[in-house]
Homo-oligomer: A and B are copies of this chain.
Amino acid sequence: MCRGDDANCPHFEEHYKTFREDLDHERRGFLRSSFAAAGGLAAIGAGGLSLVTPELARASAKRQPTTRSSHYLPANSDTVHWGYFSKTLKPQVEVESGDIITIETLTHHAGDDLERMVQGDEGAESVYLWTKDEKGVDRRGAGPTDPAVYKKGSGEGQGVHILTGPVYVRGAEPGDVLEVRIIDCTPRPCANPEFTGKAYGSNAAANWGFHYNDFLDGNTREVITIYELDLVSGNNWAEAVYNFKWVPQVDPYGVEHKTIDYPGVPVDHSTTTRNYDVLKGVRLPIRPHFGTLGLAPAEADYVDTIPPNYTGGNIDNWRIGKGAVMYYPVSVDGALLSVGDPHASQGDSELCGTAIECSLTGTFQLILHKKEDLAGTPLEQLNYPMLETKDDWLVHGFSFANYLEELGPNAQSDIYSKSSVDLALRDAFHKMRHFLMTTKGLTEDEAISLITIGCDFGITQVVDGNWGVHAIVKKDIFSGMA
């Protein structure tokens, strides 16, 4: 069926309009559903303005096959890669532009409470499998994998997120733009019968947090809080279950982890003290979203998942949830989309280092826009990851727009000591100026005045190596334009 993406359809334009209206309808239904406070702020289409002009939609549709396919990519030890993006990875699935794909994602913090986040869940169990003899997923990070070199574990935890994928988009080439529509985004129910109808997540106030060297007593500590989502009651908030202070953990290979320095270390709760008297009555609004969603960059073979970059990745903007649309510049053949770092909720800044890290399943439609069709459209020259929600456009500024290129051969380590919010604000300003000038044809002076009066700059995160500031502009602002 034509969803406004079948160029052979005689009713293309009508269907394209219907598609966008349907998504909006879907969104409204979603708002009435159990996760009202969720990504629900964001949805496609209302207001009628889009980064994709009808002409570009038609051109992109023309390049698609006449039938749409749906795909399902589960998360298990065969389908995930842990801690890195890589252009060298074998794709898990190949899709055509326009296809729909449902992708399971797993949080990399499930080791904080295996009982609630792994036990009974076949996929998660295969990924988290770790005995003295065997590890479901050995490499975790872009670091060394040679046991003679590493100290923390294979990959060294230089990159921490479990990513599902990559997804190969046929025909995608460097210079193209991949549009990723997030059609759905739901928490993964706990598979342990003891906790039926719930989902769980972990918030680690960790050593990389902005608060870490700034405790009131002058000491440091890492504290993990486990949160519960009630999937049955329809509550749109999460509540804390308990918290505990990290104490050194010895992993199944015998390595001691004095701090949280390697992902997926199974926490032995016989060594911790769990405090159940925590945040009583506090209801944290749910905003399910993908912390990490993006494409493999061309610059290096193995890229730490932590710092976000021009092809997206770990942007950690809570608005990248249901109803949102991301636009990414394609850097390698096939685009190689991976997704993970699922979050039940997060605030702008992600101050303590993590969100409510909670497994989610997403449904995406991937639309390829070829370089040849972009001239004169708002997506021309897009060299940064861009977000469209129902009401807003957002650009994402980073301390370094393309740190892999800008920081040279040691970029992947240097990035951790060079970031500031000031730099990220500077980059967000540059990107919003570029967006307004290319998309709306404004002069530089017009753009600067509009940015000052009409754009809100927020602090996306200050914990991902390459710090982030986003700039939001309301679509309504342009409603009087011809």
Contacts and interface: CB of A to CB of B under 8 A. Distances in A.
B281 A355 contact: no
Contacts of A215: 444
Interface in A195-236: 203, 205, 209-211, 214-216, 221, 223, 225, 227
A1 interface: no
A422 B480 CA distance: 37
Given A474-B285, A478-B282, A347 B421 contact: no
Interface string A437-474: 00000101110111111111111001000000100001
A480 B454 CA distance: 35
Contacts of A478: 281-283
Instruction: Give the interface centre of A214, A215, A454, A456 by most chain B CB atoms within 10 Å.
Output: A454
A345 B282 contact: no
Contacts of A285: 454, 474, 476-477
B211 A429 contact: yes
A452 B354 contact: yes
Contacts of A346: 452-453
A349 interface: yes
Contacts of A425: 210, 349, 421, 459, 462
Interface residues of A, number: 70
A446 B279 CA distance: 6
A449 B214 contact: no
A283 B480 CA distance: 7
Given A282-B477, A481-B281, A456 B348 contact: yes
B449 A349 contact: no
Contacts of A442: 279
Interface in A221-260: 221, 223, 225, 227, 237-240, 243
A347 B455 contact: yes
Contacts of A315: none
B476 A282 contact: no
B469 A459 contact: yes
A469 B462 CA distance: 13
28 contacts: A210-B425, A210-B429, A223-B448, A225-B445, A227-B453, A240-B446, A243-B446, A279-B446, A279-B449, A279-B450, A282-B454, A282-B477, A282-B478, A283-B476, A283-B480, A284-B450, A345-B453, A346-B452, A346-B453, A347-B455, A349-B425, A350-B452, A351-B429, A355-B452, A420-B420, A422-B462, A457-B458, A459-B469
